[in-house]
Structure 1
Amino acid sequence: MNGEQVDNERKSDESISNGRVSNEQNGNELNSNQRVSELTLEQLQPGTRQVLPGGGFVTLTLVTDSFGSHIHLLTISNGRLVFTVILERGMDIGEIWLEAEKISWERDERYLLHPDHVDLSDNEHSGWDSGFYAAVAAIGPEIFGTPDEVRTVHGTGSYSSAQPGSVRLTWDEQQICLEGNVPVRGYGPLPVYAKTVRIVIRYGAATLFREDTVLNLTDVAQPVDDGYHIQLAGAYMSGGGSYVLPVSTAKMLLRDSAPPEVDPLIIYDAETRLDPIRCYQYVPEPVEGLADLPQVRDYCADGGGEQLTAEMLVNAGQDTAAYVIRSLQCYPRSLIAKRAVSDRMYALEPCKTRPNSLEQKTIDGEVIYIGPHGQSTGWIIIGATRDPQEITTLTHMIRSAVN
């Protein structure tokens, strides 16, 4: 290392110690031409609100679960959208509010469990039923689908704690970015995967961007089967509503021998019970024009040059909606899951492969591999709106994709 390099590293260390860092500009990364502020997890005092630009803030809360274990919950606001991040649960997004209105599902806090208290060998209740609380839960990276003697329905990414020293919040004049590293719990004594999670939100926006990068820690190729289980049916859906999907209902396949519905797209009102669960798998069509929308351009220019698709939940009054936009190169498959017992679950699940067993996916040639010490990255944009014109526009765009 030459003298100039040493001097540059010294200056970089000094700037970081002063709470200022610089970043390369690449899509949704922080702008290197702007001064960037940083907070680490250890600098956040529980219960103390740290003011951010644009009317935003960040707060750290320590939650004690029903077994007495502590969970670190970050609440982040951009002045309009507010969301929580559960550090012990794979940096899952716990709840989402559009201003004062909660747009994610109503889930009792007793379901918020430290991963140490989730028995992954109990396949009847593991995954989405035991300790399943989040609005946006990571699925995979090992598998998404039918459990077996070893694997759970949703893999172990959502049962893995972020490394506290890796968690940092940075912000500049345009946006806020939360980053952290998550060693994936896995099923054996040696780690197979790790993840890097980035969540970016622009000031005043009604959208957020989440990116998960799965790293193969081994010397051999490993299957990667990830995605998200997303719960956006909040109180605004209490009167019922519908899914708006880029696929015809004839191409939505009802799984697990559940009884059929007259309309697979219907979301029932709060008084209607739906049990057993209905899960429909499908292949979404690309939706034209998404890359030109500001909510996409804010986070990835030209949609990253990839085909994009979108799915949306709209209430019966057609005046509030929540949606997910994502790359089909990252997540070319989808599942919706519907159940209304004590909690009303109307989920969107973008994923890499059909939610079958790993054995069946291997037979069908669907398994996706990442090479030794390689990585795989996927991203989604989550948004909400109360603008009837925006809802009409998005509905038309999505339905125009149906063949």
Structure 2
Amino acid sequence: MNILALSGIRSEYDLLYPLLKGIDNHPDFNLGVIVSGAHLSPLHDYSVRQIEKDQFRIVDRIENLLYADSFSSKAKSSSILMQSLVQTFVREQPDLLLILGDREEAIIGSLTASYMNIPVVHLAGGDNTNPEGGNVDEQIRHATTKLSHIHLTMMEEHSERIQKLGEETWRVFTVGSAGIDRLRTEPTLSVEEIAGQLGEGVTKDYIVLIYHPLNSNVTQAVAELRICIEQCIQTGLDIFIGSPNSDPGSQDIVKVLHEYTHHPQVHLYKNLERNLFVNLLRNAKCLVGNSSLAVHEAPFLCLPSVNVGERQKGRISGKNVQFVPANEKEVWNALQKALYDHEYISELEKDQFIYGDGFMVEKSLQILSSLPPREKLLAKKITY
């Protein structure tokens, strides 16, 4: 069976990686990866290099990410991606397309494949993010669900939501998040080994900060980010800050980050090796910002997380996540609880497996190995 996977950014690829590795090692499958978007951009440190290092067969490199920071640029980038995918699908003749989440790669990939009678396997559908003011990711995720043919979800509540959208029960499987598999299987590095690559800041207590723009709240992103950084600095701890994704508003965020380049507590990075990033999280005292990492993967590490602003609100989360408004006092109080409230910290292990047990790959491979014929996969029926 020829399976193609589509990826456009490092965060999405790292969630796909454990399953891609499993597929690549399986005797019944022939895997190819389509690389697009931020992977091929110097702004994101050419994260395609990680895919090359993982030695997956790259069947196409689609340069569709426009050097712009507007809503219209994302729409235009999507149109370039769709036009290019047609040629890739014609040449590669895949039996399945594998996509993940709620970015433009998911909706464009599923739409193009559906028109070309290619069954789509969608990972991480059925999730819910419904902040005040709305978020286009919510619409994209559910639209992708309706354009997909097999659904591998992270939790039972997501599977139930997909079925409420009219999807047939036999198409929906709860397998957990592959991100948990990544955390479970990645080898441990010593603090000294991490420090050898990231500096002595990791030998002390430190915070990891990841902040992305919110589609419906781009103008407030800069103010929210400043609050996050300033309150983290006030703790006296070192702060490791990752680059934002490629959504509109990301360039303004990068400008703010560069203002802190020379601050002794602040350490900026674009892309880290998978093993290095996982171990950076394993040793962190707290995760701050608005990344889905706090909701999906940090529970497995029992990592206290402070989610600032509207992004990620509405998602099912464990006790490790505190959702707070972008207010200095609220962020500060949440940081103090996350760093120093030992009774709170001791409770976090109760929700450790909320998004899976770390064996998503084994479950998914069994499902993919026993799919019905292509004709049945394509013949979707609505259940209401």
TM-score, reference length from structure 1: 0.25
Which structure shows the bigger proportion of residues in helix conformation? 2
Identify, as 1 or 2, the structure richer in strand. 1
TM-score using structure 2 length: 0.25
